[in-house]
Amino acid sequence: DHFDFILSFQKTVEKQKVHTITIEDFRAIYRTLVHRPEFQELFRAYAPNNKILANLELMEFLRKEQHETDACEMIALEIILKYEPVEEVKKRRQLSFEGFIRYMSSEDCSILKRAHKTIYQDMNHPLCDYFISSSHNTYLISDQLIGPSHIDGYISALVKGCRCLEIDCWDGSNNEPVVYHGHTLTSKITFKSVIKAIDEYAFSASDYPVVLSLENHCSPKQQEVMAESLCEILGEKLLSSTISDEVVTQLPSPEALKFKILIKNKKIGTLEEGMFRTEDESRGETGEISDFEDMSDEDETDDKAPLYTSRDSTKRKSELRGSAPPRKKAKVKKIKIALMLSDLVIYTKSSKFVSFEHSLANQKCYENNSIGEARARKFVKHAAQEFVSHTLRFITRIYPKGTRTSSSNYNPQEFWNVGCQMVALNFQTPGIPMELQNGKFLDNGGCGYILKPEFLRNRNSLFTPHNVGTYGKQLSLSIRLISAHQLPPANLSKTSKTDPLVQIEIYGVPQDQTKKKSSVVKSNALSPRWDEVFTFSLQVPELALIRFCVKDDSCLVANEFIGQYTLPVLSMSKG
């Protein structure tokens, strides 16, 4: 009906050959588009004369429809003062239909809980108790082989609240370290320019600490240049010593590390040894780490596939990367680390992952591991209990396998399910994985740190995603899908006709994973109406995300994507 009205109006204007419209015409269009029937039905249910909602009637609406339990009178008054456009009505503490529509279309009626748009969680737990928004190969803004490296990759990630950035460092000319994806044709940017961008944007979206994960391939000489650049450019923001004189027995909290930038890299010796060294003592000095014990996890040959296919080049490539060719035991090779850079690593020492058993016996609380997605997926499947026990104690970073040369992403949910803190994704690549990432980190004010559920923090926990026991607080979720409004056409749509449907998906522990589809509304993108109810029974809502995806059924090949919105189930407002 709306669409027909606008078409007939358009024809009238064309027939009259006038290029202006009267205020009455404009009002008619406005009412057609904005005074939607579903709003009118709701308003009439509470407004006795269909014209005005008095204060008491608005309070009843808030209680019954919006599930507001306390301070309804105060909320009703706030709504009237904020949204009622007619002054006389506002003075009488009433709400007109126009004011009601403005309220219903506002941020106050967003599905995301108002309280969750601010930082509401306890930020005083150790760092390992949080999910941390993390990016992989942050310098790339396209694919992993020939695309450009750009500081915009860092700026874009930081503006989105990302708190762990990756920097691949290599020796450059004129003793100037560069950042790019090694042994590929991706372009190079200077390490200094990256640090300057990080200095400027680190805390634009969040006050909480930023971790720079260095994938370090530089010579000791250029590692010293890196250390000097970090100190000079970041100044006070750089965490270069422990925050207290006590022996470190647990990681500090995000609150204690506000406005600090941490360096994640290999480190020579213990934290305490580094603390007693002065800069003069460490300048020009190097230490060695044996590659077999502590080579970068980015070099694991079963996860980081070669970028060339011939056998010789595979061998050459893997030797260049400091690891043995596939299916051969890695050689013990010494890696030199400049002490000046090593001493800047405080609470985030990169440590080679050997096994869960080895970590439990030997790993310090300030040591963390990186595990490739393929290996991590095997652990989720065959050793979930040990994996959860590991992430209770140590920060664990997951990264995409090297065969993802197009910068595609894996599903992060399976690794959040076992408590992995840094589930690193290619931020430049749109799709479901990044939609889940963006949806999850809407929570807690978008600050990039989300407190893990208690059962992923408590050392006595026996929780696994496949055997949830009584750990989750079971939830019955009912969603009434009412309508959509002014949907854009799908990208592949050959006609202006759109046949919209909505798919509601739950991502969480395997038991909770599900999707349900609405019916299709034929040829109506302007105001499709469904009025359908969907119910979900969730075992572990604490880990669940809900994704609303609108698709076009008119496309011949497959239902074409129109748009989506994802958020944590427990961040949904009722009403």
| 314 is a domain residue | no
At position 489, the amino acid (one-letter code) is: P
Shared domain for 279 and 161, answered yes or no, is yes
| 499 is a domain residue | yes
- Mean pLDDT split into 10-residue runs, the chain, 575 residues: 60 68 86 90 92 93 91 91 96 96 95 96 98 92 79 93 96 95 86 97 98 96 97 97 91 98 95 82 86 47 37 38 43 86 96 96 96 97 97 97 90 98 94 97 98 97 94 96 90 75 98 98 93 98 98 80 96 95
CATH number of the domain to which 560 belongs = 2.60.40.150
| 306 is a domain residue | no
Q: Is 382 a catalytic residue?
A: no
| Residue carrying the six token digits 């522990």 | 509
Which residue among 116, 125, 150, 181 is the active-site one? 181
β-strands 367-372, 396-399: how paired? parallel
Shared domain for 132 and 188, answered yes or no, is yes
| 255 is a domain residue | yes
Burial of 384 (0-12, 13-18, 19+ CB in 10 A): middle
Shared domain for 358 and 215, answered yes or no, is yes
CATH number of the domain to which 28 belongs = 1.10.238.10
Shared domain for 404 and 279, answered yes or no, is yes
β-strands 210-216, 261-264: how paired? parallel
| 266 is a domain residue | yes
Shared domain for 109 and 181, answered yes or no, is no
Helices (H), 235-278: 271-275
Shared domain for 47 and 164, answered yes or no, is no
Domain end residue (candidates: 61, 91, 114): 114
How far from 130 is each of 69, 314, 398, 400, 533, CA to CA, in Å? 31, 38, 15, 20, 34
CATH number of the domain to which 260 belongs = 3.20.20.190
Helices (H), 397-527: 413-416, 432-440
Shared domain for 280 and 348, answered yes or no, is yes
Shared domain for 204 and 276, answered yes or no, is yes
N- to C-terminal Cα distance for the chain? 27
Q: Is 136 a catalytic residue?
A: yes
Q: What is the pTM of this model?
A: 0.89
3-state DSSP percent of the chain in helix, strand and coil, to 5: 35, 20, 45
Q: Cβ neighbours of residue 398 under 8 Å, at least 6 residues apart?
A: 370, 371, 372, 373, 376, 412, 415, 420, 422, 423, 424
Structure tokens at 35: 């005074």
| 467 is a domain residue | no
Q: Which helix (H) or strand (E) holds 386?
A: helix 384-393
Q: Count of domains in the chain?
A: 3
Domain end residue (candidates: 47, 82, 114): 114
Which residue among 116, 125, 136, 150 is the active-site one? 136
| 463 is a domain residue | no
| Cβ proximity of 261 and 234 under 8 Å | yes
Shared domain for 235 and 347, answered yes or no, is yes
Domain end residue (candidates: 456, 486, 503): 456
Shared domain for 177 and 203, answered yes or no, is yes
Shared domain for 89 and 162, answered yes or no, is no
Q: Cβ neighbours of residue 131 under 8 Å, at least 6 residues apart?
A: 416, 421, 423, 440, 441, 449, 450, 452
| 120 is a domain residue | no
Dist. CA 512–CA 571, nearest whole Å: 17
Shared domain for 404 and 505, answered yes or no, is no
Q: Which domain holds residue 12?
A: 1-114
